[in-house]
Amino acid sequence: MLTSFPFLTNSLSFPNPLISLPAFPSPANFSPISLHFPTAPRNNRIRASTNESTPSTSTSAITVDNSGSNGSTAFVIQARNRIGLLQVITRVFKILGLNIDKATVEFEGEYFIKKFFVTDSHGNKIEDKDNLERIKRALSEAIGGDGEGKVSLTKSTAANRGIVVRRAGFVEGFGERKAKAERMFSLMDGFLKNDPFSLQKDIIHHVEYTVARSRFSFDDYEAYQAVSHSVRDRLIERWHDTHIYFKKKKSKRLYFLSLEFLMGRSLSNSVINLGIQDQYTEALSQLGFEFEVLAEQEGDASLGNGGLARFSACQMDSLATLDYPAWGYGLRYEYGLFRQIIVDGFQHEQPDYWLNYGNPWEIERIHVTYEVKFYGTVEDVDRNGEKLKVWIPGETVEAVAYDNPIPGYGTRNTINLRLWAAKPNNQFDLEAYNTGDYINSIVNKQRTETISNVLYPDDRSHQGKEMRLKQQYFFVSASLQDIIRRFKEAHNNFDELPEQVALHLNDTHPSLSIAEIMRILVDEEHLGWDKAWNIVCKIFSFTTHTVVAEGLEKIPVDLLGSLLPRHLQILYEINSNFMEELKKRIGLDYSRLSRMSIVEEGAVKSIRMANLSIVCSHTVNGVSKLHSNTLKTKTFKDFYELWPEKFQYTTNGVTQRRWIVVSNPSLCALLSKWLGTEAWIRNADLLTGLRDHVDNTGFRQEWKMVKRLNKMRLAEYIETMSGLKVSLDAMFDVQVKRIHEYKRQLLNIFGIIHRYDCLKNMDKNDRRKVVPRVCIIGGKAAPGYEIAKKIIKLCHAVAEKINNDADIGDLLKLVFIPDYNVSVAELVIPGADLSQHLSTAGQEASGTGSMKFLMNGCLLLATEDGSTVEIIEEIGSENLFLFGAKAHEVSELREKGGTLKVPLQFARVLRMVRDGHFGDKDYFESLCDTVEVGNDLYLLGSDFGSYLEAQAAADKAFVEPEKWIKMSILSAAGSGRFSSDRTIREYAERTWKIDPCQCPF
């Protein structure tokens, strides 16, 4: 068992940092481990070790004497004598930049008293109390103490794991092993340096030995690969130190379970969080490369679909930055989300081969593998008079771990995102070999890799449903085996699990974790059912991102029983116990019992995964105030009335480091200049300080320049992508998100058609008064979502008409951005003037996209839905353009159905599309049917008049530049509340009950 006692302290005001002295395991399983910190100079790392095998405990002391008249400070150390200790102590003084004037040693049996007379780098006494305490702590930790000047070395016992430690290089009686350990230390005693010359050496080294190219001939992509590996080396240093420190402190850890992580690119984000972007920029410039050009060589990690996935990525960044002990778990999709190709205005899907050229940011852990089982039967077995359930699987797959270091900003902490890939099981198929069918056996095993191939396989078929369920259980099983293994390394009593582990379900996709951990505790660890259930209910928390009950996940019982027979039994037992408890609480209200049951009876008997998650979790989180109210009053009303204390809300957030620092460096510099600090990068609440400068003419002028620069970047991208030149004087009007009826891109397109129709019917003099617009729409439609695909086609048909109309010119342009992803968002969001968030009120859980635009000073045109309600509270309704029905009005409007009156403008636009004004008359007929009176579920017609009024208000504000700029500044000033740092802090304090654990510098 490996346990380390690293030497940890805060930085001193001496020339050199305090350096870690990690401990090592017993000789039988010797393996070096280190802890180190990034303060300059970085080339000093002490690695020392000791072996203490006596059963007794020795306590020693370190005292300070400043009474001498010789101008030095005396450090008096009393400790048990052992070989090498003197060298350890003197090296600590040396690294701290202290001078040893002289030293004396006296022996008392097994103990010695060593007195060191020490001065600082200027030859003076050390009189500062804080520095003296830190030096004492450093010495204590270095020789195996507790940091308080006392040294305790105790032999390991079963109840006290890992107390015996060995410090490499000073081991008696191990001969060759000792020499090897000393050699190892001499080779690994330094941190990687971050000066430009050292970075250049590392880059060239990776060009030749990792990328395998000549250092005299390599292109931009090869340079990107080399730079990425050199950055990864530095991440790994921090990553190792962080997890050793977490282990030492025995902190309660959060395990964030999510099937989606939309991470985007890593290079820029990593060097910014590490604080070495300028050094890399200079190093590459001297080599003839531009950092920005190399960063563009990186492809997006396509591990997610939309807001939930990007929310997960922001969560990881904030967890690392705020020093919380956390792990993320997900799947390593081979192809990820599809690439969107537009041909003649139609969406086509192609596999996204994002891993074809490798991923320099991941580390394959071939030794971290777990068996994941499927199918088979469950047998009753008698063991010592006790009846047990034993699952005999019919198929076994290997889960292999791929680790992705996630660095925090302004901290040494670097946490881990562990992704699982499916590999064939290595078990030998003897029957197939004997029958000569081993080739087919190999093919069948290779099919197992498809489990982690595709993000969200099409589940309209039985095969698709089975594959999605396989994905979910594969992810859950591997993650929980890893978590339980880590827990058991340091604990042998599962009663301690709730104090050490917090499991968070990011939506219902990981909800099979509940049944799986019950199976592990009951079937494998042999805990009683009641004890296991009591433990499980203390460790899970649940965030739901769904609004309407129809969107909640259900798994057919037949499918679950075939694929995971033991889990179905467990789920039935959980539900049976819950129903019995519920009857005691509410009586025989069969209607309510039926609604709350985990098992849904009906034509297709199913397991309600949301109900399961609520029953088992100690906390159920909504993702905005409005969303939480909907959960309590509609979606989960029955559960809220039963357990009101379970329901909380923590409004989603986004990380300002990705959405300002990385994507909008010009704005980042401007904010730091006028706020007088860079502290806002870690504390977004400081952005409120912009309100103090909102009337400053110089500040406003610089704000305009930053906005224009970002619009230039976006305009260049549009021209490169589509060949369309757009005017920088036009309002850049943006709607980018998943294509869905409830997000109402169709409302936006109808508004553009109305604008075009008005322009066509104006005389030339009136047209001069119109605000020019560049309307930008982007997003992907799910492969099986025909209506969404027709919306994309209509967008292209309208664009074709408008963009080629000489009468319109630059007054109106419509652009569809294909294959919208995180990297494209980093261009679009900073360059937008107006951002549209048009969901029917009550349909959007949170809407993190609006927060990203808000941070970049973009004005919002939105319904009062999701987090927009809280944005209004923060910036005021006068600083955005609101329209449409409120959430509480939607039900009544829907009930009116065919009796609703729609504006004449809406009817005219709809008629233009129906009559084939934009072509494809027959193709768009079914699309028009969805918004006809009586079928208009998402209330496009009802909200159209209000929408046009909001657009007119935006036009009016845009022609008053000073007013627009003021609204823009106030939008950014109010965005601090929507940082994911605030989200994570609230989760940590209220839901997960975890504390920061900062790895010292």
Q: Which residues are catalytic?
A: 545, 737-738, 743, 848, 852
Write down the H helix ranges in 587-681.
590-596, 609-616, 625-630, 637-642, 656, 665-675
Please give, one letter per residue, the 3-state secondary structure of 478-509: HHHHHHHHHHHHHCCCHHHHHHHEEEEEECCC
Neighbours of 765 (CB within 10 A): 7
795-800 long-range contacts (CB < 8 A, ≥24 apart) are 795/345, 795/745, 795/749, 796/342, 796/344, 796/345, 797/345, 797/918, 797/919, 797/920, 797/924, 798/749, 798/752, 798/753, 798/756, 798/918, 800/345, 800/918, 800/919
| Residue 408 DSSP SS3 | coil
CA dihedral of 836, 840, 842, 843, whole degrees rounded to 10: -80
Q: What is the end-to-end Cα distance of the chain in Å, rounded?
A: 26
From the centroid of its chain, how far is CA 928?
A: 39
Decide if 336 contacts 819 (C-beta within 8 A). no
- What is the rounded CA–CA span in Å between residue 984 and residue 654? 10
Distances (CA, A) of 277 to 135, 144, 180, 356, 565: 33, 37, 37, 27, 52
Residue 440 half-sphere exposure toward CB, CA atoms < 13 A:
7
- Phi-psi group of 847: left, alpha or beta (phi > 0 → left; psi -120 to 50 → alpha; rest → beta): left
> Locate tokens 């065919």: which residue?
898
Partner residues linked to 859 by β-bridges: 834
Q: Residues for the chain: how many in total?
A: 1001
Give the helix/strand (H/E) hosting 380.
strand 377-383
Distances (CA, A) of 45 to 17, 35, 188: 10, 9, 8
Neighbours of 994 (CB within 10 A): 19
Distances (CA, A) of 775 to 343, 749, 813, 833: 20, 9, 6, 11
- What is the rounded CA–CA span in Å between residue 29 and residue 33? 12
| Residue 170 DSSP SS3 | coil
- What is the rounded CA–CA span in Å between residue 436 and residue 118? 78
Decide if 926 contacts 790 (C-beta within 8 A). yes
- What is the rounded CA–CA span in Å between residue 115 and residue 822? 60
What is the edge-to-edge ordering of all strands in the sheet holding 554-556? 554-556, 606-608, 599-600
Q: b/e map of 205-237 (b: 16 or more CB within 10 Å)? A: ebbeebbebeeeebeeebbbbbbbbbbbebbeb
- What is the rounded CA–CA span in Å between residue 940 and residue 743? 11
Calculate Rg over the CA atoms of the chain: 32
Backbone angles phi, psi at 455, to 5 degrees: -70, 120
> Locate tokens 């604080």: which residue?
275
The residues, ordered by sequence, that sit 6+ positions from 285 with a Cβ below 8 Å of its Cβ are: 291
Backbone angles phi, psi at 80, to 5 degrees: -70, 135
∠72-76-78 over CA atoms, to 5°? 165
| Residue 890 DSSP SS3 | helix
From the centroid of its chain, how far is CA 3?
A: 29
